Chains A and B, each alone.
Chain A
Amino acid sequence: MGNVLRFLTRRRGGDRWHWTDVVTWVWLIGGLLVMFGPAVWLVLSSFKTPAALAAFPPTLMPYVIEEAIVAGYDRPLPLYEVRQADGRTVVLAEVRRIGIVAQMVDPRAPETIVKVNIADRQPVEKVSFATSNYTEPFVHFDFLRYLWNSVFVTVMATAVTLLINSMAAFALAKYKFRGQSLILIVIVGTLMVPLGVIMVPLYSMISALGLFNSLWGVIWPTVATPTGVFLLRQYMLTIPDELIDAARMDKASEWQIYWRIVLPLATPALAVLAIFSVVWRWNDFLWPLIVLSQSQLYTLQVGLNVYAGQLNVQWHYILAMTVVTMIPVVLVFVFLQRFIARGIATSGLK
């Protein structure tokens, strides 16, 4: 036994286990549970029926009581395992329940009604995924609309961000003109002006421009991102000036230099900014909440919050919609996680 333990705990290089090794693995395993557990719980819960969601203690998997069609009854009856006086158990179907006594029938002999104390029976359960939680919101809520609005805002904002940020970054990286450093300082200084600080005047600005209750009212204030300009400029500084001079010799216009030489070379930085922009815009909440007051304009985040804030929260729909809202970000995470991690580690960008 001692040998087995020594074998299992032996390590490369023959070092003994240090207390920090124990802390490391406790932290990692605990982290796995705490970080992924809630999301897994959300997904499992999203497949439960409203009845299962209201039960305590909740079960891990989505269960429903099995039902059977019994001759003489027009609706399917729930099945229970009943322990009889002689110790045997039989499966009976419940007709109705009065207080602590249930009237039950044997599905094979539906004529005689048996009275059973409810303490003597256990429901017959099976794992069943309530996919209607996912399909019904498309009918009951404007779910498809919200999805479309979110996709529209995300795609448009990202496209505009990439275009105007890269143009500004090109000007700041590859031209010399007066006031250049001032512009750069102003742009970096904007980092100090988050939405929370200017929401009142920004709202009046948006209203004055007729952008209140419009998806473009959500998009415009977000596109001139200072981080985007800064990131792209730093990258474009590494593109050699000789390339640009050579293109000028060949009579290329400045615009052609921008989109045929500089943009293709800046693809890695553009990709990083695109990923961040998609995640930012998809997740935006406070500003859409202010600008969009008509329900057909809600983005997913606003729509989710509104439905979750109602007095009678329909959790079975909310949970399923939350899972759908999570999917694009989880895809980004799965495929681009390394990429983003490197971006944060090197630039501190979020």
Chain B
Amino acid sequence: MSNRHEGQEARPARRSDGLLLIPVKAVMQVIDVPLRAWQRLAGLTGMASFFLLPNMAVFAIFVLVPFVINFVYSVTGGTEIFLDQRFYVGAAQYRDIFDCRSYLDPSTCVEDGFWVSTRNTALFVVVQVALMILVALVTALVLNREIAGRSFWRAVFFFPVLLSPVVVGLIWRWILQRQGLLNLVLYELFGFEPYSWLTDRNAAFAAAVGVTIWARVGFFALILLAGLQAIPKELYEAAEMDGTRRTRVFFRITLPLLMPNLLVVLVLGLIRSVQVFDEAYVLTGGGPGTSTMYLTQYIYEKGFASDLRDPGLAAAASILMGAVLVVLTLVQMAASRRNEKKGER
């Protein structure tokens, strides 16, 4: 078995691959002429900067510069998108955002849309991440057992991860609508009357949570599964020899040793959950009312929807969201560094 596998890998590339590459090779050869001249002129360091240049230029223009001028946007006012047509307003955008009589009640705020979407996002993040980790953990534990056809089952849970958020949103919109699959199942099993789930505030929230879990849980389950498989088998054998009960093994061996992976899953899940947009937007469009309006959609609508456009406010809101993400990412980096150290020991 392993011999055949090695034999396959050792086989030389097919001729057709070579034919396809001929024009590429020609181009590379032509590029080489001026580059040799540059190499003679600038040396190895010069070549290093040449190799770095394209990526760093694209990176600077489309990430770094926008990141910096985002702060400039947040201190300007008006509805124009180009900076030269905007005027300086100082901290007015931030003042508007934080202008509330009571922070517990979004309707008392000047920018109630921001606080409604912030509250929705916070609620979404807490419920979605907690449930998702639970489902991912159970899935990983199940997939880590000695079951027939394990790679098939792993693929089952991983399948939705690759689907586009738009496809995910549309699939579930179709299932949750009045003539949909959910109503069919409820009707056949319990005789429920058909119901338009996405027009109900609570059901729409539950749908946004459930659908994003459905679409992402396979990804997080894979990370946890990798962690479970890294736990030494000897520990379990020793526990079995001592006749330790399974629940005790789980809480005393599995869970503590899985903690580093759980932490990674928690932070990655939080980072992605804070930015929730695509699936929820296609599924509910933020509705009914504003019940599933999340921060990214608020920023998108403030920035680009023509009738209530305010790019400065959108920039200020996006910086506040960015600050949360930076904190989460720093936590993740610290956590993964601690993991590496543990691995070395």
Contact = CB atoms under 8 A, between A and B. Distances in A.
B32 A183 contact: no
A1 interface: no
B96 to A, nearest CB: 16
Contact of B153 (A31, A279, A344): A31
Place the interface of chain B in its size category.
Answer: 35 or more
Q: How large is the interface on A (under 10, 10 to 19, 20 to 34, 35 or more residues)?
A: 35 or more
A175 interface: yes
Given A32-B156, A197-B318, A346-B226, A164 B303 contact: no
A301 B55 contact: no
Contacts of A31: 139, 153, 156-157
Contact of A202 (B66, B165, B169, B295): B66
Nearest to A18: B246
Contact of A190 (B63, B151, B187, B278): B63
B37 to A, nearest CB: 10
Contacts of B139: 27, 31
A99 to B, nearest CB: 24
B156 A285 contact: no
Given A53-B179, A167-B54, A171-B52, A286 B162 contact: no
Interface in B1-39: 28, 31-32, 35-36, 39
B183 A290 contact: no
A154 to B, nearest CB: 11
A286 B45 contact: no
Contacts of A120: none
A20 B315 CA distance: 50
Interface in A248-288: 253-256, 258-259, 279, 282-283, 285-286
Nearest to B216: A350
Given A31-B156, A198-B70, A253-B35, A224 B55 contact: yes
B14 to A, nearest CB: 14
A56 B184 CA distance: 8
Interface string A32-62: 1011111101100100000001111110000
A130 interface: no
B170 interface: yes
B164 A205 contact: no
A341 interface: yes
A325 B32 contact: no
A77 B315 CA distance: 62
B58 A164 contact: yes
Interface in A204-236: 204-205, 207-209, 220-221, 223-224, 229
A90 interface: no
B223 A290 contact: no
Contacts of A39: 159-160, 163, 171
B238 interface: no
A309 interface: yes
A168 B51 contact: yes
A344 B72 CA distance: 37
B104 interface: no
Interface string B302-331: 011000000100110011011001100100
A156 to B, nearest CB: 13
Given A190-B59, A341-B222, A170 B51 contact: yes
A200 interface: yes
Q: Main SS of chain A's interface residues? A: helix
Interface in A1-37: 18, 20, 23-24, 27-28, 31-32, 34-37
Nearest to A282: B164
A290 B300 contact: yes
A250 B116 CA distance: 66
B54 A164 contact: yes
B204 interface: no
Contacts of B48: 171, 175, 177
B206 interface: no
B58 A224 contact: yes
B67 interface: yes
B41 interface: no
The 8 closest A-B pairs by CB, nearest first: A283-B164, A168-B55, A171-B51, A345-B226, A175-B48, A201-B66, A224-B59, A197-B322
29 contacts: A35-B156, A36-B156, A39-B163, A39-B171, A55-B179, A56-B179, A57-B187, A58-B181, A192-B322, A196-B318, A196-B321, A197-B321, A199-B303, A200-B70, A200-B303, A204-B69, A209-B61, A254-B35, A285-B165, A301-B164, A304-B170, A305-B281, A305-B282, A309-B285, A322-B171, A326-B164, A329-B167, A345-B226, A348-B223
Interface of B: 28, 31-32, 35-36, 39, 44-45, 47-49, 51-52, 54-56, 58-59, 61-67, 69-70, 72-73, 81-83, 138-139, 142, 145, 147, 151, 153-167, 169-175, 178-181, 183-184, 187-188, 194, 214, 218-219, 222-223, 225-226, 246, 264, 268, 275, 277-278, 281-282, 285, 295-296, 299-300, 303-304, 311, 314-315, 318-319, 321-322, 325-326, 329
Given A42-B174, A329-B164, A341-B155, 17 more contacts: A28-B142, A31-B157, A35-B156, A36-B159, A168-B54, A171-B48, A175-B47, A192-B322, A198-B66, A199-B318, A255-B31, A282-B164, A286-B300, A305-B282, A308-B173, A333-B159, A345-B222
